[in-house]
Chains A and B, each alone.
Chain A
Amino acid sequence: MIWLGIETSNSPLSIAIVKDGQIVEEIVQNEKLTHSVTVMPTIEELFRKANLNPADLDAIAVSEGPGSYTGLRIGVTIAKTLAWTLKKPLVGVSSLQVLAANGQGFAGVICSLFDARRQNVYAAAYDGETMQPVIQDHHNSIGGLLEQLQLLNTPVLFIGLDAVNFKEVITAQLGNQAIFASTSLALPRGSKLIELAQKQSLPSVEEVHNFVPKYHRITEAEANWIKDQKKGQ
């Protein structure tokens, strides 16, 4: 069983090829280059190095969000196009779960987060051992997230490049409860994405058409309410 994993949900890029549960190729990078010009050449390069053809693939995994709108659209579009043209199933995995998986084994809760700007975050929390979600993927103010985490009353491992943006406020609110993961764990990995995707049942190839990124932005009803409030000012 050969998997291709595509992770472009935020500025880092990771592509992996995993064969029968073993990593064959993996690239993890954090360059200030746009995914639109790097993803396809990277995939081609990995196939060439692994001496594989795209047709050899059995399934494709993609990080489905939340994260950067542009990053998600590029990753999901490429994954859908490859899946449909090669007639392979496409599996989506939460980008927060992929990142959190870097901390697996932590005795406590792992909180992965992405900066959603203006003191907001996309975040989730997982049990460090079972990796079951304790707080589901959602969009929240950093303050709102920290209140939820505080109530868990257990050590929290913060993971991700953006965690440092909030280090001060996290430490102020959680004190010793907060632990920051080493920077070598801050980048999501395509191999982790595939590992998580393998736990899901494979959808039919036709389902590729219904695949959309999960932005986890506020609901349309909320957005309209906010707009109405603004108009009324």
Chain B
Amino acid sequence: MIFEMEVMSLEETQSLAHRLAQVLEAQDTITLEGDLGAGKTTFTQALAKGLGITRTVNSPTFTIMKQYEGRLPFNHLDVYRLADSDEDLGWEEIFYGDAVTVVEWAHLIEEDLPDERLAIEIYRSGNDKRKFVFKPIGKRYEELCEELF
């Protein structure tokens, strides 16, 4: 099952992220894939805002993970620097705790990800135009997408 949405503006991207944030629950995992400038960070920032996080959300490329407190705790991971590494960052604690988790460059830790998750791909089709592709893996995420689209 694949869900697609074209958005024409930054505001529409933010609104999509906000709506997603409203239906997220503890232990939900979202993977984000998209080229540089596709809008992974913009999307994540809007999602965090939707979760009630007031702190500035910026790239965790250097730290690998940043944690925030909102309506739910929020883990923001960029696992780019874990390429070709088997390092265990305590994945169970991250994915199966009480937080919502967003992972950028998630394919680099494919084997460590929860079996069920929401995979989001972002494609840039113009200045502020984006195509969002939601690929839910597992019943929980299929229902979540049906509620959203």
Chief secondary structure at chain B's binding surface: loop
**Nearest-neighbor residue (CB-CB) of B73 within chain A:** A32
Give every chain A residue within 8 A of B116 (Cβ-Cβ).
Answer: none
Docked complex Cα distance between A231 and B112 (Å): 11
Interface positions, chain A 200-233, Cβ under 8 Å from B, are 215, 217, 220, 223-224, 226-227, 230-231
A69 in contact with B93 (CB, 8 Å): yes
Docked complex Cα distance between A223 and B86 (Å): 9
Known: A217-B88, A223-B86, A223-B88. A231 touches B111 (CB 8 A): yes
Known: A227-B111, A230-B111. A117 touches B96 (CB 8 A): yes
B93 in contact with A68 (CB, 8 Å): yes
Known: A117-B96, A117-B97, A118-B96. A68 touches B111 (CB 8 A): no
Interface size on A, residues (CB 8 A): 17
Docked complex Cα distance between A231 and B110 (Å): 9
Docked complex Cα distance between A224 and B88 (Å): 12
Q: Does B11 count as interface, using CB distance less than 8 angstroms? A: no
Give every chain B residue within 8 A of A120 (Cβ-Cβ).
Answer: 92
Q: Does A70 count as interface, using CB distance less than 8 angstroms? A: yes
Interface size on B, residues (CB 8 A): 11
CB 8 Å contact bits of B55-72 with A (1 = contact, 0 = none):
000000000000100000
User: Closest approach, in angstroms, between the C-beta of A220 and any C-beta of chain B?
Assistant: 7
B111 in contact with A116 (CB, 8 Å): no
User: Closest approach, in angstroms, between the C-beta of B115 and any C-beta of chain A?
Assistant: 9
Q: Does B89 count as interface, using CB distance less than 8 angstroms? A: yes
Give every chain B residue within 8 A of A231 (Cβ-Cβ).
Answer: 111
Q: Does B37 count as interface, using CB distance less than 8 angstroms? A: no
B111 in contact with A117 (CB, 8 Å): no
**Nearest-neighbor residue (CB-CB) of B95 within chain A:** A117
B86 in contact with A116 (CB, 8 Å): no
Q: Does B90 count as interface, using CB distance less than 8 angstroms? A: yes
Give every chain B residue within 8 A of A226 (Cβ-Cβ).
Answer: 111
User: Closest approach, in angstroms, between the C-beta of A11 and any C-beta of chain B?
Assistant: 10
CB 8 Å contact bits of A132-169 with B (1 = contact, 0 = none):
00000000000000000000000000000000000000
* A residues with CB within 8 A of B: 34, 68-70, 116-118, 120, 215, 217, 220, 223-224, 226-227, 230-231
In addition to A69-B89, A117-B93, 15 A-B residue pairs with Cβ atoms within 8 Å of each other are A34-B67, A68-B90, A70-B90, A70-B93, A116-B92, A117-B92, A117-B95, A117-B96, A118-B92, A215-B88, A217-B88, A223-B86, A223-B88, A224-B86, A231-B111
